[in-house]
């Protein structure tokens, strides 16, 4: 359907990633949608007192979005918007908001405009729901990063040796991580020229467990030491940079907030 040359009208479920002012009353909103991937819409008059859009969208909402699809500059025009999930916790819990900001920033930078990423959409919706229900901890960031890498098809191999295929049992083996190859080699293969650098086996065991867990709750409930968290931060941070060319200030800010602020009960 084409209305007055504005473009085809499309409808999709969409998560708000970013909101930026265009004028005193209009806003540019970046979304991650289920069927159309990342896209931006201009919402004209969004802040006017009688606007139909007032209160219908905000950061980290999931909305039903109706928009005029336009090819020029990948900027579409919003026609209607209705919130499906508001996630009010992000308005009062700085821990959860900081983590969600990093997750949204990563999703925005790792997707191309108008290219469907259903696995990433489902991950972001799941993790936002879980943060809104239970808050955020530092370990939640690392769980998300493991799932993000999985959704993009570049997850680290933490279960078996890259060279001999032996199962890695942290209690009996001291594996090494080969960053360029994205996985572990056992102590025997490392000694035979497999290379890599040692990583704390207890931190690796936690990451391996979270990699197979479908719920953020597993990471939130795991008791981690400062040393273990530091090992995870370094390993995953270097992996993201090496395999996705991703190094974000929002990650450092989120981790700093999570280390300094006590959790807020919802």
pTM of the complete model: 0.91
Please state the three-class secondary structure of 60-104 as a single string: CCEEEEEEEECCHHHEEEEEEEEEEECCHHHHCCHHHHHHHHHHH
For the residues 17-27, what does the mean pLDDT come to?
A: 95
Does domain 8-86 correspond to CATH entry 2.30.110.10?
A: no
Class of domain 90-260: mainly alpha
Where does the pLDDT of residue 173 fall: very low under 50, low under 70, confident under 90, or very high at 90 and above?
low
- Mean pLDDT, rounded, for 80-87: 97
d(CA 219, CA 135): 12
At residue 266, does pLDDT exceed 50? Answer: no
Confidence grade of residue 25 (pLDDT, cut at 50, 70, 90)? very high
**Could you give the angle at which helices 249-260 and 94-109 cross, rounded to 10 degrees?**
160
Give the pLDDT score at 1. Answer: 43
Least trusted range by pLDDT, from 37-41, 93-97, 197-201, 217-221: 197-201
Domain boundaries, the chain: 8-86, 90-260
């Amino acid at each position: 359907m084409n209305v007055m040359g504005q473009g085809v009208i499309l409808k999709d479920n969409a998560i708000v990633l970013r909101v930026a002012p265009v004028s005193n009353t209009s806003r540019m909103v970046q979304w991650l949608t289920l069927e159309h991937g990342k896209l931006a819409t201009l919402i004209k008059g969004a802040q006017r007192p009688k606007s139909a859009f007032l209160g219908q969208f905000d950061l980290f909402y999931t909305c039903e979005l109706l928009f005029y699809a336009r090819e020029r500059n990948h900027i579409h025009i919003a026609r209607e918007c209705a919130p499906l999930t508001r996630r009010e916790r992000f308005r009062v819990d700085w821990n959860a908001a900081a983590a969600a900001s990093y997750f949204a920033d990563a999703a925005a930078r790792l997707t191309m405009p108008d290219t469907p990423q259903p696995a990433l959409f489902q991950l972001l919706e799941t993790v936002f729901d879980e943060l809104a229900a239970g808050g955020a901890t530092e370990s939640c960031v690392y769980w998300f990063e493991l799932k993000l890498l999985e959704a993009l098809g570049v997850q680290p191999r933490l279960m078996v040796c890259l060279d001999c295929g032996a199962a890695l049992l942290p209690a009996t083996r001291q594996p090494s991580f080969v960053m360029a190859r994205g996985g572990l080699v056992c102590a025997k293969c490392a000694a035979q020229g497999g290379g890599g650098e040692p990583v704390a086996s207890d931190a690796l065991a936690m990451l391996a467990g979270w990699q197979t867990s479908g719920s953020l709750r597993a990471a939130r409930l795991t008791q981690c030491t400062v040393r273990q968290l530091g090992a995870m931060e370094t390993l995953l941070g270097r992996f993201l940079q090496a395999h996705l060319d991703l190094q974000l200030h929002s990650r450092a800010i989120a981790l700093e907030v999570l280390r300094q602020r006590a959790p807020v009960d919802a």
